[in-house]
Structure 1
Amino acid sequence: MPGKAPLPYEYLPEVPSFTVTSDDVTEGEQLSNRHVFNDWGFSGENLSPHLAWSSYPPETRSFAVTCFDPDAPTGSGFWHWVLFDLPVEITQLPVGAGAEDLDVGVQARNDYGVKAFGGAAPPPGDPHRYVFAVHALDVESLGLDSGTSPAVVGFNVTAHTLARAVIAPVYGH
């Protein structure tokens, strides 16, 4: 039986880290029902968690925030959230910031097909990891729009990443 899928950043160029914290999620701990999908047989609240970050490089010009499940049985993982072009003045997001009507930054369509955060919804079995990453970028804007695929956003984020902070809670049922 194969092991866990690699984390999404293990094969990308190494970059410095900075601090990301949350009032809602903890590294390696089970997500609460607040951050679980509300469809496909799940009855979660589908809210993005609170995230705050600090000690990022002084040359940072914007941020991107992503959530990726490398354990999804798709062969390519599953993008739960793709938010970019966050102004450098924003250093935290409250619970529920990933709603479709977010008025800062740009949200690309996730793998649920919506331009918003989509909560955990793994099939029965081993818990999945939900990799929340904050990327400190060297540009104010990636020059992309909300119709851009997560893979293309990821390509551009990687090209402009100065540093990255990650917190990876889990969810299983």
Structure 2
Amino acid sequence: MKTIFVLITCLFVSAAAFCQTFTLKSNDLGGQFTNEFVAGNFGCNGSNQSPQLSWVDAPDGTQSFAITMYDPDALTGSGFWHWVIVDIPTTVHELKKGAGDIKSNIAPVGSLQSINDTGYPGYQGPCPGEGEAAHHYLITVYALKTAKLGTTSSSTAALTGFLLGKQVLAKASLMVYCKR
């Protein structure tokens, strides 16, 4: 009887170890963006700082990470990419607040920030139009099966998204809202 109990316990513990969920978290974000993370242009007067992000339980075989921030509600017909950072080493499991400012050198060594839909690399905070319904912003971390995605600082978000789709092992997201 003891042998059966130990066997069942080991199977349960082993299964639990394999069932960890790849998860994205932020110490800075709740359900809505605060002014600290809102754009400081396009009619908004926020501080335009990228939020702190951290992730756990990446799948085996992960060779790098990438982060994107996308607004599907932007009145462009194709949404709006606010942030694209790729080639984050597997030894890194957090982006510090402000890492999206390429001049700050806070982003992990070896990572690459390509252009957002304003045409500049780095983070562009949310700035939905006045009177519009709240926009939802999808922040996603990708666990990738390649160490280098093969993009450059001038690669478009659409191209980067296409390449991410080809290399993704797992992804985890946060949804944050903003309204003016």
Measured against the shorter chain, the TM-score band is 0.7 to 0.9
Which runs of no fewer than 5 residues in structure 1 stay unpaired?
1-15
Whose relative contact order is higher, 1 or 2, with alpha carbons under 8 Å and at least 6 apart?
1
1:10 counterpart residue number: none
CA distance in 1, matches of 2:40, 2:93: 28
1:35 to 27, 34, 37: 37
2:120 to 103, 106, 114: 114
Pairing 1:12-161 to 2, within 5 Å after superposition: 18-26=22-30, 29-101=31-103, 102=105, 104=109, 105-124=111-130, 125-161=132-168
Which runs of no fewer than 5 residues in structure 2 stay unpaired?
1-19
| Bigger proportion of residues as helix | 2
| 1:21 maps to amino acid | K
Return the offset for 1:112: 1.3
CA distance in 2, matches of 1:143, 1:170: 31
Return the offset for 1:18: 1.2
Aligned pair count reads: 156
Instruction: List structure 1 runs of 4+ shifted beyond 2 angstroms.
Output: 101-104
1:172 counterpart residue number: 179
Identity of aligned residues (%): 38
| 2:114 maps to amino acid | A
Return the offset for 1:17: 5.8
What RMSD, in angstroms, separates the aligned Cα atoms of the two structures? 1.3
CA distance in 1, matches of 2:73, 2:22: 25
**Contact kept in structure 2, 1:84 and 1:106, CA below 8 Å:** yes
CA distance in 2, matches of 1:167, 1:38: 22
SS of 1:156's equivalent in the other structure is helix
